[in-house]
């Protein structure tokens, strides 16, 4: 990420608890643990000003050392986060504080340390608790011996970090938000109105209820074909489609796209007619099947050029996958389009790897940052402890020795591929006034990355606080990026009915998983959830941060906003990012907490700018 957490704590010592330093390397293992006095004072949790609304302490450990920074303090497990409070400053240490939902895994470790005294050959052991976060953090705490505090903290984390039901998340405990905010459906329609050049109209719930939102311009219209999510459960209730294509033709075309995710408009220029659309892969299979309805729908994206009556605009079909992967999908019923079937088209493959490759790359990248970052988990390998200029958390003079490790992670190559693909798409739309259709396999991972980044490059509105919220809600939330799977959250369950990602489909399609809508008939299990975890959205935020570093004055917000925004996403404190599909969010809307993550952050940062 371009921006690190600005408030990370530096090393501090709490003299009041009697910690003494021995002569040594200046690292955490030289603490004389036997001289730490037990903390026996009683603490009133109700008086803790740092607790959020409805947040309560479940367990705590005193005299704990945050190994990353050599800082002693008190470790709390609440119903929302693991919180480290410095004994010296009585302030929260950001590096040692992580929401429970952000914890990927944790484990206990014992490290034996040889005594430095010349008079004894005895060795002592350090009882450690390692926390690995989804936000690239690796945190290590050290506990006093013979106190059983580590076991208590470990047991509390075991109970709270992997809830069986989504209802057990803190977001449902804190209750509805006090901030007034429009419905996501209303905000989506307002964005559609803006794209159609009808921004003077304002959507409302009454407009949605009576169906009067189906407006249009000369080329595009808002369709209510998916109003009840009967066409596609992972698509929004309203779709922006070519005006020349009827709803019946859209239904026919949906049978030719994986999970019924038909080509739909993500962004259009009302002046030039250039358009950016998205979909899932076509179901051509090994028999190279064709669909007249799908070909007509895609061709309708290529309206005539405004200045040339007899000339149609160029159509680019951007397949985010490597070519060999797209061909391999043909054996399972999927595949890619043929330019001979789509008039005046060009097929381009971007070669971006799948979610599994991104997950593995992310793990290697996190190990690199832990070794060379500003506060590494071993407490002593950080280059910053020896001073010097820094870059990305490490010492610039020492970076050459480790740059191969950074390259081996592959993370920056993946980020470069996504950015390059997005820039290519934006260039075709802006410079050629072309029509570009983007898809991968399912159309909700790599497609969301490419389309939303291209939107960000094409439209300066999306680089404002309000526009960024509209962009995320449109291309990530409304178009069904499976946040619950990718972030590793439990599915919505525990009621009289089940609405997990693997619930039975309402569609009447073939038994092929590619023809099913976003619900599959297979039973869910923990290995399935683990296999589908991938930092796709985090990678997209990283791409945005790279653009922000290059063009800082093109954005209304800063990298600090992106860091806080990503924290909100991973923490599951808000209701925006808890579900896989819009149909689930729609059914459970009365129970969801105030889904105002972006609104709240925008309000906070705009106020800070005004001040």
CB-facing half-sphere around the CA of 354: CA atoms within 13 A? 13
User: Which region among 16-20, 212-216, 313-317, 351-355 has the lowest average model confidence (pLDDT)?
Assistant: 16-20
Average pLDDT, stretch 346-352? 96
Question: Would you state the pLDDT for residue 271?
Answer: 85
CA angle 533/537/539 to nearest 5° reads 100
Query: Tokens 């493959």 — which residue?
Result: 349
- DSSP string computed for 485-516: HHHTPPPS-SSSS---TTSPPSS---SSTTTS
Give 308's contacts (C-beta < 8 A, 6+ positions apart): none
Q: Which residues pair with 65 in a beta bridge?
A: 72, 142
Question: Would you state the pLDDT for residue 312?
Answer: 75
Does residue 11 surpass a pLDDT of 70? Answer: no
User: Which region among 534-548, 567-581, 586-600 has the lowest average model confidence (pLDDT)?
Assistant: 586-600
- Give the separation between CA 76 and CA 62, rounded to whole angstroms: 9
| pLDDT band (50, 70, 90) for residue 540 | very high
Average pLDDT, stretch 471-495? 80
Question: Would you state the pLDDT for residue 554?
Answer: 96
Query: Tokens 């001040």 — which residue?
Result: 611
pTM higher than 0.75: yes
DSSP state of 373: S
The rounded mean pLDDT for the chain is: 78
- Determine phi and psi for 249, rounding to 5 degrees: -70, -35
Check residues 273 and 507 and name the one with the higher pLDDT.
273
β strands within 79-174, DSSP E: 81-86, 98-99, 103-114, 123-133, 138-143
- What three-state secondary structure class fits 166? helix
- Give the separation between CA 164 and CA 203, rounded to whole angstroms: 37
- What three-state secondary structure class fits 222? strand
Does residue 477 surpass a pLDDT of 80? Answer: yes
- Give the separation between CA 114 and CA 130, rounded to whole angstroms: 21
Check residues 538 and 507 and name the one with the higher pLDDT.
538
Question: Would you state the pLDDT for residue 376?
Answer: 59
How many Å is the Cα radius of gyration of the chain? 26
- What three-state secondary structure class fits 448? helix
Question: Would you state the pLDDT for residue 267?
Answer: 97
- What three-state secondary structure class fits 59? strand
Q: Which of 42-46, 48-52, 120-124 has the highest mean pLDDT?
A: 48-52
Q: Tell me the C-alpha to C-alpha distance, in Å, between residue 332 and each of 279, 324, 511, 513.
A: 18, 13, 12, 9
Check residues 562 and 168 and name the one with the higher pLDDT.
562
Average pLDDT, stretch 483-489? 85
**Dihedral-angle region of residue 478 (phi above 0 means left; psi in -120 to 50 means alpha; beta otherwise):** alpha
**Cβ–Cβ < 8 Å for 575, 513:** no
Percentage above 70 pLDDT, the chain: 71
User: Which region among 9-23, 224-238, 559-573 has the lowest average model confidence (pLDDT)?
Assistant: 9-23
Average pLDDT, stretch 275-299? 95
Does residue 17 surpass a pLDDT of 90? Answer: no
User: Which region among 238-242, 463-467, 484-488 has the lowest average model confidence (pLDDT)?
Assistant: 484-488
Q: Which of 171-180, 283-292, 489-498 has the highest mean pLDDT?
A: 283-292
| pLDDT band (50, 70, 90) for residue 601 | low
Q: With residue 348 as reference, give the H or E element that holds it.
A: strand 345-349
Q: Which of 175-179, 301-305, 344-348, 422-426 has the highest mean pLDDT?
A: 422-426
**Cβ–Cβ < 8 Å for 284, 330:** yes
Listed in order, the ranges of the chain carrying CATH 2.30.29.30 are 15-162
What would the pLDDT profile of 179-216 be if each residue is shown by its tens digit?
A: 556 788 999 999 999 999 998 899 999 999 998 999 99
| pLDDT band (50, 70, 90) for residue 53 | confident
Check residues 304 and 43 and name the one with the higher pLDDT.
304
- Give the separation between CA 352 and CA 204, rounded to whole angstroms: 39
**Cβ–Cβ < 8 Å for 597, 578:** no
Average pLDDT, stretch 280-305? 91
Q: Which residues are annotated as a binding site for substrate?
A: 354-355, 440-446
Q: Which of 491-495, 574-578, 580-584 has the highest mean pLDDT?
A: 574-578
Q: Tell me the residue length of the chain.
A: 611
Average pLDDT, stretch 10-25? 31
CA angle 355/257/324 to nearest 5° reads 50
Question: Would you state the pLDDT for residue 108?
Answer: 92
Question: Would you state the pLDDT for residue 313?
Answer: 86
What would the pLDDT profile of 392-451 be if each residue is shown by its tens digit?
A: 333 333 334 444 577 788 999 999 999 999 999 999 999 999 999 999 999 999 999 999
CATH top-level class for 15-162? mainly beta
Check residues 82 and 499 and name the one with the higher pLDDT.
82
User: Which region among 196-200, 245-249, 253-257, 276-280 has the lowest average model confidence (pLDDT)?
Assistant: 196-200
The closest of 34, 37, 30 to 15, measured between CA atoms, is 37
- Give the separation between CA 275 and CA 127, rounded to whole angstroms: 59
What would the pLDDT profile of 85-136 be if each residue is shown by its tens digit?
A: 999 888 999 989 999 999 988 999 888 776 655 555 566 778 899 999 888 8
In this structure, the strands spanning 390-391 and 394-395 are antiparallel
Does residue 384 surpass a pLDDT of 50? Answer: no
Q: With residue 62 as reference, give the H or E element that holds it.
A: strand 57-66
Question: Would you state the pLDDT for residue 400?
Answer: 41
Check residues 111 and 6 and name the one with the higher pLDDT.
111
Check residues 32 and 321 and name the one with the higher pLDDT.
321
Give the active site residues. Answer: 440
The closest of 277, 236, 240 to 476, measured between CA atoms, is 236
- SS3 track for 247-290: HHHHHHHHCCEHHHCCCEEEEECCCCCCEEEECCCECCCCCCCC
Question: Would you state the pLDDT for residue 241?
Answer: 96
What would the pLDDT profile of 547-579 be if each residue is shown by its tens digit?
A: 999 999 999 999 988 988 888 888 888 777 887
| pLDDT band (50, 70, 90) for residue 501 | very low
Does residue 2 surpass a pLDDT of 60? Answer: no
Does residue 600 surpass a pLDDT of 60? Answer: no
């Amino acid at each position: 990420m371009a921006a690190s957490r600005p408030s990370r704590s530096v090393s501090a010592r709490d003299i009041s608890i009697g910690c003494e330093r021995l002569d040594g390397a200046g690292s955490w293992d030289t603490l004389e643990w036997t001289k730490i006095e037990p903390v026996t004072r009683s603490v009133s949790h109700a008086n803790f000003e740092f607790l959020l609304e409805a947040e309560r302490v479940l367990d705590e450990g005193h005299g704990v050392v945050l190994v990353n920074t050599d800082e002693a303090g008190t470790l709390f497990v609440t119903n929302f986060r693991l919180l480290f409070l410095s004994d010296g400053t009585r302030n929260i240490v950001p590096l040692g504080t992580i929401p429970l939902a952000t914890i990927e895994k944790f484990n206990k470790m014992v490290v034996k340390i040889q005594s430095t005294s010349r008079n004894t050959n005895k060795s002592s052991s350090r009882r450690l608790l390692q926390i690995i976060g989804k936000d690239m953090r690796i945190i290590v705490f050290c506990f006093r011996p013979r106190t059983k505090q580590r076991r208590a903290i470990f047991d509390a984390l075991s109970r709270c970090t992997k809830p069986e039901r989504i209802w057990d998340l803190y977001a449902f405990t804190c209750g509805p938000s006090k901030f007034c905010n429009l419905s996501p459906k209303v905000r989506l329609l307002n964005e559609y109105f803006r794209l159609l050049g009808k921004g003077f109209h304002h959507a409302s719930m009454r407009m949605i209820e009576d169906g009067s939102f189906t407006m249009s311009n000369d080329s595009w219209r808002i369709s209510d074909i998916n109003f009840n999510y009967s066409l596609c459960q992972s698509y929004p209730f309203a779709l922006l489609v070519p005006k020349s294509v009827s709803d019946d033709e859209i239904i026919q075309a949906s049978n030719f796209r994986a999970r019924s995710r038909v080509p739909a408009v993500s962004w259009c220029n009302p002046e030039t007619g250039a358009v950016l659309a998205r979909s899932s892969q076509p179901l051509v299979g090994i028999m190279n099947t064709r669909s007249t309805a799908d070909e007509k729908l895609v061709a309708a994206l290529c309206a005539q050029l405004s200045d040339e009556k007899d000339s149609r605009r160029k159509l680019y079909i951007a397949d985010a996958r490597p070519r060999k992967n797209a061909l391999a999908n043909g054996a399972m019923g999927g595949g890619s389009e043929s330019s001979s079937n789509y008039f005046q088209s060009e097929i381009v493959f971007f070669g971006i790897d799948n979610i599994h490759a991104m997950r593995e790359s992310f793990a290697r990248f996190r190990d690199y940052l832990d070794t060379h970052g500003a506060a590494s988990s071993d407490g002593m390998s950080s280059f910053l402890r020896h001073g010097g200029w820094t870059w990305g958390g490490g010492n610039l003079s020492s970076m050459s020795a480790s740059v191969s490790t950074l390259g081996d992670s592959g993370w920056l190559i993946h980020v470069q591929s996504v950015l390059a693909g997005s820039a290519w798409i934006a260039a075709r739309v802006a410079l050629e006034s072309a029509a570009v259709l983007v898809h991968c396999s399912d159309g909700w991972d790599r497609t969301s990355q490419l389309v939303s980044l291209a939107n960000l490059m094409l439209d300066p509105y999306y680089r404002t606080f309000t526009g960024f919220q509209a962009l995320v809600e449109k291309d990530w939330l409304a178009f069904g990026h499976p946040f619950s799977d990718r972030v590793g959250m439990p599915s919505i369950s525990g009621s009289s009915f089940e609405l997990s990602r693997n619930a039975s489909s309402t569609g009447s399609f073939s038994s092929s998983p590619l023809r099913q809508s976003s619900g599959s008939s297979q039973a869910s299990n923990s290995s399935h959830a683990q296999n589908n975890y991938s930092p796709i959205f985090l990678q997209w935020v990283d791409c945005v941060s790279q653009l922000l570093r290059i063009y800082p004055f093109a954005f209304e917000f800063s990298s600090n906003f992106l860091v806080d925004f990503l924290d909100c996403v991973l923490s599951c404190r808000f209701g925006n990012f808890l579900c896989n599909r819009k149909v689930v969010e729609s059914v459970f809307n009365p129970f969801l907490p105030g889904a105002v993550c972006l609104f709240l952050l925008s309000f906070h940062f705009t106020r800070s700018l005004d001040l």
